[in-house]
């Protein structure tokens, strides 16, 4: 494909077409004919289990990994043969490796110095970026004196300093504790919006991806299993793999007939327009309602886990696998209590094997 072929389309900044990477002659490729577009100023998070090809994808775009087939286009230009340092992409890796012998300013200004920027320009950019990442006035601090979160911010400022057209982050908040990660991810999103940065980030933490991204791409064995907004992927996981990866375990065999499906748990209502026939069915925990014991599907509370905002219940119905439900702390029954279950069609998702009609 040439630059002209892509000029009629939306101004995607990055386009991958059929990108394949094989580390061994036999077995499945690490990346298997991956197609992916990232629009200018879009924040895309690639999510997937260990070994699904996330890092390899970043490395191919960065020019650190050769692709056996397919194309990488940046602003319409094929990147084959373009060395990493000429691609205009910024990289921030998991182990953000700051230079320990340089102070904060020395670290942040590194890329600018390499580019031959003037001292005044470097100082201005460093001041601006340290303000942006919430470390104003930290220029002279030694890297070793910074907390993990502060170091992460310095690494981010360093990656942003040369104003890359595409910023790639590999597990950007991987090393940090949960609270700090949740705070930083909100700040990062605001920062990228403010700067209009295009971002391709890789993480295995779905919470991080959903909070950061405009679009989430779920990888499975070197292929894209699903791509969509966080809400779309959350509400309509495309396959059992994606559903389970997101932590949804209420998945059963089902046969749809009309407005309900026959499942090992009994009849479960399905969304309007669902095609009749066999399928795998997901019931999101939010769609499992507790009723008084004589009504609904009889079940016993097997476990309850306090999750902060709600209580996660594990329920054992009379037949079929255990079911997860979510309820408020006030309403949560005790372990061993007998309850009834009802299912809400709005939280029922037909997975691969049957799709809603139309």
Ligand X SMILES: Nc1ncnc2c1ncn2[C@@H]1O[C@H](COP(=O)(O)OP(=O)(O)OP(=O)(O)O)[C@@H](O)[C@H]1O
**Interface with ligand X by CB under 6 A: which residues?**
23, 30, 48, 50-56, 204
Distance, C-alpha 258 to centroid of its chain = 35
Give the contacts of 140 (CB within 8 A, at least 6 positions apart): 103, 104, 105
Cβ-based nearer residue to ligand X, 204 or 267: 204
Cβ 28 to ligand X shortest distance, Å: 8
Structure tokens at 96: 């953000």
Nearest to 325 by CA among 303, 353, 293: 303
Cβ-based nearer residue to ligand X, 50 or 328: 50
Structure tokens at 189: 């999103």
Structure tokens at 36: 């992916």
Give CA–CA dist 175/168, Å, rounded. 17
Cβ-based nearer residue to ligand X, 47 or 283: 47
Cβ 131 to ligand X shortest distance, Å: 32
CA distances to 147, 282, 286 from 267, in Å: 54, 13, 17
Cβ-based nearer residue to ligand X, 53 or 111: 53
Cβ 175 to ligand X shortest distance, Å: 14
Cβ-based nearer residue to ligand X, 52 or 198: 52
Cβ-based nearer residue to ligand X, 49 or 228: 49
Structure tokens at 199: 């971002």
DSSP assignment of 22-37 equals -SSSSS--SEEEEEEE
Cβ 307 to ligand X shortest distance, Å: 25
DSSP assignment of 180-233 equals HHHHHHHHHHHHHHHHT--EEEEES-HHHHHHH-SEEEEEETTEEEEEE-HHHH
CA distances to 306, 309, 327 from 330, in Å: 11, 11, 8
Cβ-based nearer residue to ligand X, 212 or 327: 212
Cβ 170 to ligand X shortest distance, Å: 8
Cβ 44 to ligand X shortest distance, Å: 15
Cβ-based nearer residue to ligand X, 220 or 275: 220
Token pair 């949804």 in the structure block, residue: 248
| 204 phi/psi in degrees, rounded to 5 | -105, 0
Cβ 88 to ligand X shortest distance, Å: 23
Give CA–CA dist 291/311, Å, rounded. 16
Cβ 55 to ligand X shortest distance, Å: 3
Cβ-based nearer residue to ligand X, 247 or 278: 247
Cβ 153 to ligand X shortest distance, Å: 23
CA angle 209, 212, 217 (to 5 degrees): 45
Q: Is 347 helix (H, G, I), strand (E, B) or coil?
A: helix
């Amino acid at each position: 494909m040439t630059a002209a072929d892509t000029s009629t389309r939306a101004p995607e900044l990055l386009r991958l077409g059929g990108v394949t990477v094989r580390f061994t002659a036999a077995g499945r490729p690490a990346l298997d004919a991956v197609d992916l577009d990232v629009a200018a100023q879009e924040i895309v998070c690639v999510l997937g289990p260990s070994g699904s090809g996330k890092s390899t994808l970043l490395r191919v775009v960065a020019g650190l990994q050769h692709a056996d087939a397919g194309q990488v286009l940046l602003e319409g230009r094929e990147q084959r043969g373009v060395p990493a340092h000429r691609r205009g992409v910024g990289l921030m890796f998991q182990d953000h490796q700051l230079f320990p012998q340089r102070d904060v300013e020395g670290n942040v200004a590194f890329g600018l110095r390499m580019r031959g920027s003037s001292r005044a320009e470097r100082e201005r950019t460093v001041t601006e970026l340290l303000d942006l990442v919430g470390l104003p006035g930290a220029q002279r601090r030694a890297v070793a004196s910074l907390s993990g979160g502060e170091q992460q911010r310095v690494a981010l400022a360093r990656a942003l300093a040369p104003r890359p057209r595409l910023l790639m982050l590999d597990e950007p908040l991987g090393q940090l504790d949960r609270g700090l990660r949740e705070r930083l991810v909100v700040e990062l999103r605001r920062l990228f919006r403010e700067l209009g940065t295009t971002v391709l980030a890789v993480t295995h933490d779905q919470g991080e991806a959903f909070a950061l991204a405009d679009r989430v791409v779920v990888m499975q064995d070197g292929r894209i299993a699903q791509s969509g907004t966080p809400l779309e992927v959350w509400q309509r996981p495309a396959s059992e793999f994606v559903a389970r990866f997101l932590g949804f375990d209420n998945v059963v065999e089902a046969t749809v007939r009309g407005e309900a499906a026959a499942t090992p748990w009994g009849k479960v209502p399905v969304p309007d327009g669902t095609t009749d026939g066999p399928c795998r069915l997901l019931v999101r925990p939010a769609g499992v309602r507790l009723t008084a014991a004589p009504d609904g599907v009889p079940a016993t509370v097997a476990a309850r886990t306090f999750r902060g905002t709600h209580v996660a219940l594990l329920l054992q119905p009379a037949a079929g696998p255990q079911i997860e439900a979510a309820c408020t702390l006030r309403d949560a029954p005790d372990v061993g209590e007998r309850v009834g279950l009802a299912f809400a069609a709005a939280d029922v998702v037909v997975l691969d094997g049957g799709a809603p009609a139309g």
